[in-house]
Amino acid sequence: MRIGELAERAGTTPRTLRYYESRGLLPARRGSNGYRAYDESDLRLVEQIKVLQDFGFGLEETRPFVECLRAGHPEGDSCPASLAVYRRKLDELDALIGELESVRAKVRGQLERAEEARARLAAEAELPGGPEPLCELAEAALSADAAVPAHVTYENKG
Pick the CATH number of 1-78 from 1.10.1660.10, 1.10.240.10, 1.20.1250.20, 1.10.10.10: 1.10.1660.10
* pLDDT computed for residue 129 by the predictor: 64
Inter-CA distances, 92 with 41, 44, 86, 106, 113, Å: 30, 26, 10, 21, 32
What is the rounded CA–CA span in Å between residue 75 and residue 73? 5
* pLDDT computed for residue 145 by the predictor: 47
Domain boundaries, the chain: 1-78, 86-143
What is the rounded CA–CA span in Å between residue 79 and residue 69? 9
Whether the predicted model's global pTM rises above the 0.75 cut:
no
pLDDT tens for the chain, residues 1 to 158? 999 999 999 999 999 999 999 999 999 889 889 899 999 999 999 999 999 999 999 999 999 999 999 999 999 999 999 999 999 999 999 999 999 999 999 999 999 999 998 888 888 777 666 565 556 655 555 554 445 455 545 455 54
* pLDDT computed for residue 13 by the predictor: 97
Residues 6+ apart with CB under 8 A from 57: 85, 89
* pLDDT computed for residue 158 by the predictor: 45
